C-alpha cells in the first residue's frame, strides 16, 4: 500500500481491510468531504464502485446489491443532509436483515456547531436502526492510526453480517487535505498483515442444531397428524432442505416467492403456490386447520395466511432470534440455521419411515391446481395475469424484484411454481415503496442475469432517480409497470368505502397522470403498452418499460370474482381433507 497523504492513508488502510475481508461492491455519492472515502473505494481494483448522484437512491442501490450478492456493501456520502437521505435504506436494511456498511463523511470537531456549511449532528444519526455505530475520530499519521482503522474495518464487516445481518454506521470526521495531493509518508506503518489476510477475523459459533433440538422437533412432528411447512422471506438457502422435510412428513410446503422454495430445480411435489387464494375460502381454511406448522424465514405478506397461522400451533426456526412473529402464538422459537435444521430433521424422520397421510397433501395439491385455470379465465387486462405470464419466459437465474403494495401481494397469490431457478427479492422489511427502482437496479448491476421489476406506477414515479442510475450504468432492467391511475391497493381497504370520494381520490389514491412513455424515454428504455399476457411475454426479452394499463374498479371486481370462483370450485379438494 502506497499512502497518498495524512487524510487518505487511514482511509486507504480501511478500504484495503474491507477488500481483504471480502468486500466486492460499493456505492459512492459525489462530494468534497467524502472524496477521500469515495476515491479510495473507486481506486481499489478488488471493489466494483458504482457512482450514484442522489443519496436516497444510492442507499437503495447498495441495498439491492447486498440482497442480490448476500454480502456486505459499502455506501459513502458527504456530510449534512446527504447523510440523512440514507435513512430509508438503512431502515429497510435493518428490518430485512441486509448487511450495509454506511460510511458518512463529517466535519471535524472544530467545524461542528459553529455555523459551518453542511455540518449537522451526525453522531448516531441512524439511531437504533444500525447494529453498531463508531465515531472514527481524527488521528495523526502512524502505525497506531493504521491499526485503529484496519481494526474498525474488520469490525464493521463482521458485525454487519454476524447473526442476523444488518447495517452498521461509521462517521468519519475528515480534515484537509481532502484532495489526493501526495505527501511524503513512510509506507511501512500503513501495511496490513502479510499474504492478504484481514487484520482480524471472526470465527462464528456453529449455527447447526444439537441432537437434542432435533429430537425435540422430531417428537413434535410425530405427534402431529396434519401439519404444514411455511417458507417466508429469507436469505438462507432453504428450498432443498424444506422440500426434503415436506417429503419426509407428507405435509404441504407453502412457499412464499422470496423464500426461493416456490421456483427452482428442487423437488416441488409438495409445494403449494396459491395458499393466499385458498385460505380466503372460509370453508377451505376451516377444513385445513393443521396440528402443527413449522415456519422458516420471516412471516409472509399474505393476510389470509397470517390469520390461518394465528389459529395454529407454530414452531419458528429463526437463527437470529429476532421474534419475527406478528401472530404472537408461536410456542417455540428454534435459534438455529434453518437449512441444517430442516436437513437434520428430515433425515431423522426418514429413518422412522413414518406413513404419510396422503389425503391431507392431496387435498392441498388439488386445491392449488384449481387456481391457474380460474386465473386464465379472467378477462384482460388483469394484473395477476401479467405477472404470472413471466413464469414461462424468464431464464434461469433471473431476478424478479417485487414492488411493495399490490405487486408483492399478487405475485404471492398467483405466481405459479416453476422449474426455472428464479430469485424473488423485495423490500418487505419496512414495507415502503421508496427506493423500489433503485433496489432493483442494484440487483441488476450485480451480474449477467437480467432483473425484472414488477411495480405500480406510483412506486415507479416515487423513485425516478433509480431509472437514471440504470441509464447511467447500462443496467439490464426490464420494468413491468401496472398503471391503474393511483394507489390501487387502497381500493381494497375500508378507507375507500368511508372517505369522501373527492378527498379520497386527491389525498389517498393520488393519481399522477404522468405519461409513462415519456418516463421510458427519460430512462433510455423502450416503451411497450401490453394488454395481454402474451404481450408481456413478447416484450420482456430485453430492457424496456412495459406498461399494463388497468382500471382500479375493474381490478377490485376481478380479484373478488376470482376468489369467489375458486371458492366454488374447491368442493373436490374439501372432500379429501
SS3 per-residue string spanning 17-61: HHHHHCCCEEEECCCCCCHHHHHHHHHCCCCEEEECCCHHHHHHH
**How do residues 294-317 score in pLDDT, each as one tens digit?**
999 999 999 999 999 999 999 999
Q: Once rounded to an integer, what is the mean pLDDT over residues 405-425?
A: 96
Q: What is the pLDDT of residue 320?
A: 76
What is the end-to-end Cα distance of the chain in Å, rounded?
68
Dump strand ranges (E) for 92-202.
100-106, 132-135, 168-173
Specify the pLDDT at position 118.
87
**E strand map for 427-465:** 451-456
Give the pLDDT of residue 363.
95
pLDDT value at residue 96:
93
Residue 573 has a pLDDT of 77
Residues 6+ apart with CB under 8 A from 211: none
pLDDT tens readout for residues 314-346? 999 988 767 777 877 888 999 899 999 999 999
- At 88, the pLDDT band (50, 70, 90 cuts) reads very high
The angle subtended at Cα 147 by Cα 144 and Cα 153, nearest 5°, is: 140
pLDDT above 80: residue 1: yes
Judged against a pLDDT cut of 80, whether residue 147 lies above it is answered with yes
Could you give the CA distance from residue 130 to residue 126 in angstroms, rounded to a whole number? Answer: 6
How big is the CA angle at 340 (ends 320 and 424), to the nearest 5 degrees?
70
Range 237-254 average pLDDT: 96
Nearest Cα neighbor of 371 from 441, 279, 497, 247 is: 279
pLDDT at 321: 67
pTM reported for the whole predicted model: 0.95
How crowded is residue 59: how many other Cβ atoms within 10 Å of its Cβ? 32
Q: How far apart are CA 4 and CA 178, in angstroms?
A: 11
Residue 577: pLDDT above 90? no
pLDDT digits (tens, 9 = 90+) for 351-407: 986 665 679 999 999 999 999 999 999 999 999 999 999 999 999 999 999 999 899
Mean pLDDT, the chain, as a whole number? 94
What confidence score (pLDDT) does residue 323 get? 76
489-541 pLDDT tens trace: 999 999 999 999 999 999 999 999 999 999 999 999 999 999 999 999 999 99
Q: Quick one: pLDDT band at residue 55, thresholds 50, 70, 90?
A: very high
Supply the pLDDT for residue 113. Answer: 86
Q: pLDDT tens-digit profile of 172-207?
A: 999 999 999 999 999 999 999 999 999 999 987 778
139: Cα separation from own chain's centroid: 38
- Percent of the chain residues past pLDDT 90, beyond the cut: 88
Ordered domains of the chain (ranges, CATH):
8-196 (3.40.50.970), 211-369 (3.40.50.1220), 378-568 (3.40.50.970)
Amino acid at each position: 500500500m502506497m499512502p497518498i497523504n495524512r487524510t487518505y492513508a487511514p482511509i486507504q488502510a480501511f478500504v484495503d481491510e474491507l477488500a481483504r475481508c471480502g468486500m466486492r461492491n460499493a456505492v459512492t455519492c459525489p462530494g468534497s468531504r467524502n472524496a477521500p472515502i469515495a476515491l479510495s473505494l473507486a481506486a481499489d481494483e478488488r471493489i466494483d464502485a458504482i457512482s450514484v448522484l442522489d443519496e436516497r437512491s444510492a442507499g437503495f442501490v447498495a441495498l439491492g446489491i447486498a440482497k442480490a450478492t448476500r454480502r456486505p456493501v459499502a455506501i459513502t456520502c458527504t456530510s449534512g443532509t446527504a447523510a440523512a437521505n440514507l435513512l430509508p435504506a438503512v431502515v429497510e436494511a435493518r428490518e430485512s436483515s441486509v448487511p450495509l456498511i454506511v460510511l458518512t463523511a463529517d466535519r471535524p470537531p472544530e467545524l461542528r456547531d459553529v455555523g459551518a456549511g453542511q455540518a449537522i449532528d451526525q453522531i448516531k444519526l441512524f439511531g437504533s436502526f444500525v447494529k453498531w455505530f463508531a465515531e472514527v475520530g481524527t488521528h495523526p499519521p502512524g502505525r497506531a492510526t493504521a491499526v485503529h482503522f484496519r481494526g474498525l474495518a474488520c469490525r464493521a464487516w463482521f458485525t454487519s453480517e454476524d447473526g442476523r445481518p444488518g447495517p452498521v454506521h461509521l462517521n468519519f470526521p475528515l480534515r484537509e487535505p481532502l484532495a489526493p495531493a501526495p505527501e511524503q509518508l513512510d509506507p511501512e506503518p500503513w501495511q496490513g498483515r502479510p499474504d492478504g489476510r484481514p487484520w482480524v477475523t471472526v470465527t462464528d459459533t456453529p449455527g447447526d442444531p444439537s441432537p437434542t433440538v432435533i429430537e425435540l422437533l422430531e417428537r413434535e412432528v410425530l405427534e402431529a397428524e396434519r401439519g404444514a411447512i411455511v417458507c417466508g422471506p429469507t436469505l438462507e438457502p432453504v428450498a432443498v432442505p424444506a422440500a426434503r422435510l415436506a417429503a419426509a412428513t407428507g405435509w404441504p410446503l407453502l412457499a412464499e416467492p422470496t423464500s426461493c422454495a416456490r421456483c427452482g430445480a428442487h423437488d416441488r411435489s409438495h409445494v403449494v403456490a396459491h395458499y393466499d387464494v385458498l385460505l380466503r375460502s372460509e370453508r377451505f381454511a376451516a377444513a385445513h386447520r393443521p396440528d402443527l406448522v413449522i415456519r422458516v424465514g420471516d412471516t409472509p405478506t399474505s393476510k389470509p395466511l397470517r390469520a390461518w397461522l394465528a389459529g395454529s400451533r407454530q414452531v419458528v426456526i429463526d437463527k437470529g432470534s429476532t421474534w419475527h412473529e406478528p401472530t404472537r402464538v408461536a410456542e417455540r422459537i428454534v435459534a438455529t440455521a434453518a437449512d441444517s435444521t430442516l436437513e437434520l430433521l428430515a433425515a431423522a424422520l426418514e429413518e422412522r419411515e413414518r406413513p404419510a397421510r396422503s389425503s391431507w397433501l392431496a387435498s392441498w395439491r388439488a386445491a392449488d391446481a384449481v387456481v391457474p385455470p380460474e386465473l386464465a379465465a379472467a378477462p384482460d387486462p388483469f394484473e395477476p395475469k401479467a405477472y404470472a405470464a413471466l413464469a414461462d419466459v424468464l431464464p434461469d437465474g433471473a431476478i424478479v424484484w417485487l414492488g411493495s403494495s399490490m405487486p408483492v401481494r399478487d405475485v404471492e397469490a398467483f405466481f405459479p411454481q416453476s422449474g426455472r431457478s428464479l430469485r424473488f427479492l423485495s423490500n418487505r422489511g419496512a414495507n415502503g415503496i421508496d427506493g423500489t427502482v433503485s433496489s432493483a437496479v442494484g440487483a441488476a448491476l450485480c451480474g449477467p442475469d437480467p432483473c425484472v421489476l414488477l411495480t405500480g406506477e406510483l412506486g415507479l414515479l416515487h423513485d425516478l432517480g433509480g431509472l437514471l442510475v440504470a441509464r447511467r450504468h447500462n443496467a439490464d432492467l426490464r420494468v413491468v409497470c401496472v398503471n391503474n391511475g393511483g394507489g390501487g391497493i387502497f381500493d381494497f381497504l375500508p378507507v375507500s368505502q368511508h372517505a369522501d370520494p373527492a378527498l379520497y381520490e386527491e389525498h389517498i389514491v393520488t393519481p399522477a397522470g404522468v405519461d409513462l412513455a415519456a418516463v421510458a424515454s427519460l430512462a433510455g428504455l423502450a416503451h411497450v403498452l401490453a394488454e395481454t399476457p402474451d404481450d408481456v411475454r413478447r416484450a420482456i426479452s430485453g430492457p424496456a418499460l412495459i406498461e399494463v394499463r388497468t382500471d382500479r374498479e375493474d381490478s377490485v371486481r376481478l380479484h373478488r370474482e376470482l376468489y369467489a370462483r375458486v371458492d366454488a370450485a374447491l368442493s373436490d379438494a374439501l372432500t379429501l381433507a
